[in-house]
A and B are shown apart, each in its own frame.
Chain A
Amino acid sequence: MTEVAWIGAALAAARPQAVAALLRYFRDLDVAEEAFQEASLRALKSWPLNGPPRDPTAWLIFVGRNSALDEMRRRNKHDSLPDDDVIADGEHNETALVERLDNSAYQDDVLRLLFICCQADLPATQQIAVALRIVSGLSVQEIASAFLVSEAAMAQRITRAKRAITESAVAFETPGPVERAERLTTVAAMVYLLFNEGYSASGGDAHVRVPLCEEAIRLGRLLLRLFPSESEIMGLTALMLLQHARAAARLDANANIVLLDDQDRRLWNQALIAEGLVLVEKAQRLGAPGTYQIQAGIAAVHARAARPQDTDWAQIDQLYAVLELIQPSPVVTLNRAVAVSRVRGAAAALEMLEPLAQPLAGYFHYFGVKGALLKDLGRADEARVAFNQAIALARTAAEAAHIRMNLDKLNK
Chain B
Amino acid sequence: MFYCILCYNLESEVEAWSREKEAAMLAQREIVAHELAAQGRLGPVGRLMPTTTAMTVRASRQPQVLDGPFAETKEQLMGFYLVDCKSLEEALQVARGLVGDTGSLEVRPLATFYPGIGLQ
What is the interface of chain A, defined by CB distance below 8 A to chain B?
Answer: 1, 5-6, 9-10, 12-14, 56, 218, 221-222, 224-225, 228-229, 234, 237, 271, 274-275, 278-279, 281-282, 285-286
Inter-chain contact B15/A275, CB cutoff 8 Å: no
In Å, the complex CA distance between A282 and B18 comes to 28
Answer whether A9 and B88 are a contact pair too, CB < 8 Å, given A225-B52, A229-B67.
no
CB within 8 Å of A: which of B1-58?
10-18, 21, 24-25, 49-53, 55
Q: Is B82 an interface residue (CB 8 A)?
A: no
Chain A residue at minimum C-beta to C-beta distance from B92: A285
Inter-chain contact B52/A228, CB cutoff 8 Å: yes
Name the distance in Å between A99's Cβ and chain B's nearest Cβ. Answer: 14
Inter-chain contact A9/B21, CB cutoff 8 Å: yes
Inter-chain contact A278/B12, CB cutoff 8 Å: no
Inter-chain contact B87/A281, CB cutoff 8 Å: yes
Inter-chain contact A10/B13, CB cutoff 8 Å: yes
Chain A to chain B: the 10 pairs with minimum beta-carbon distance, closest first? A228-B68, A12-B16, A13-B13, A13-B12, A229-B67, A224-B52, A278-B53, A13-B16, A281-B88, A9-B16
Inter-chain contact A13/B53, CB cutoff 8 Å: no
Quick one: which of B17, B18, B52, B69 has the most chain A CB within 10 A?
Answer: B52
Answer whether A13 and B25 are a contact pair too, CB < 8 Å, given A221-B52, A271-B112.
no
In Å, the complex CA distance between A278 and B21 comes to 26
Inter-chain contact B12/A228, CB cutoff 8 Å: no
Residues in B neighbouring A228, C-beta threshold 8 A: 52, 67-69
Name the distance in Å between A340's Cβ and chain B's nearest Cβ. Answer: 28
Inter-chain contact B55/A282, CB cutoff 8 Å: yes
Residues in A neighbouring B12, C-beta threshold 8 A: 13-14, 221-222, 225
Q: Is B78 an interface residue (CB 8 A)?
A: no
Count A-B contacts at CB 8 Å: 71
Name the distance in Å between A6's Cβ and chain B's nearest Cβ. Answer: 8
In Å, the complex CA distance between A249 and B50 comes to 24
Quick one: which of B12, B15, B87, B109 has the most chain A CB within 10 A?
Answer: B12
In Å, the complex CA distance between A222 and B51 comes to 11
Residues in B neighbouring A5, C-beta threshold 8 A: 18, 21
Q: Is B111 an interface residue (CB 8 A)?
A: yes
Inter-chain contact B15/A221, CB cutoff 8 Å: yes
Residues in B neighbouring A224, C-beta threshold 8 A: 52
In Å, the complex CA distance between A88 and B60 comes to 46
Residues in A neighbouring B67, C-beta threshold 8 A: 228-229, 282, 286
In Å, the complex CA distance between A282 and B56 comes to 12
What is the interface of chain B, defined by CB distance below 8 A to chain A?
Answer: 10-18, 21, 24-25, 49-53, 55, 67-69, 87-89, 109, 111-112
Inter-chain contact A278/B88, CB cutoff 8 Å: yes
Inter-chain contact B68/A275, CB cutoff 8 Å: no
14 more CB-based (< 8 A) A-B contacts, given A225-B12, A285-B88: A6-B21, A9-B16, A10-B13, A13-B10, A13-B16, A221-B52, A225-B51, A225-B52, A228-B68, A271-B111, A274-B49, A279-B53, A281-B88, A282-B53
Inter-chain contact B112/A275, CB cutoff 8 Å: no
In Å, the complex CA distance between A237 and B17 comes to 19
Residues in A neighbouring B14, C-beta threshold 8 A: 9
Chain A residue at minimum C-beta to C-beta distance from B88: A281
Answer whether A1 and B16 are a contact pair too, CB < 8 Å, given A13-B10, A275-B53, A278-B49.
no
Quick one: which of A10, A225, A275, A278 has the most chain B CB within 10 A?
Answer: A278
List 23 A–B pairs whose Cβ atoms lie within 8 Å, in order of A's numbering. Answer: A1-B24, A6-B21, A9-B13, A9-B17, A9-B18, A13-B12, A13-B13, A13-B16, A14-B13, A56-B13, A218-B15, A218-B16, A221-B50, A221-B52, A222-B12, A225-B51, A228-B67, A229-B67, A271-B111, A271-B112, A274-B49, A275-B111, A278-B109
Residues in B neighbouring A274, C-beta threshold 8 A: 49, 109, 111
Name the distance in Å between B117's Cβ and chain A's nearest Cβ. Answer: 24
Chain A residue at minimum C-beta to C-beta distance from B11: A225
In Å, the complex CA distance between A274 and B46 comes to 14
Residues in A neighbouring B13, C-beta threshold 8 A: 9-10, 12-14, 56
Name the distance in Å between A380's Cβ and chain B's nearest Cβ. Answer: 46
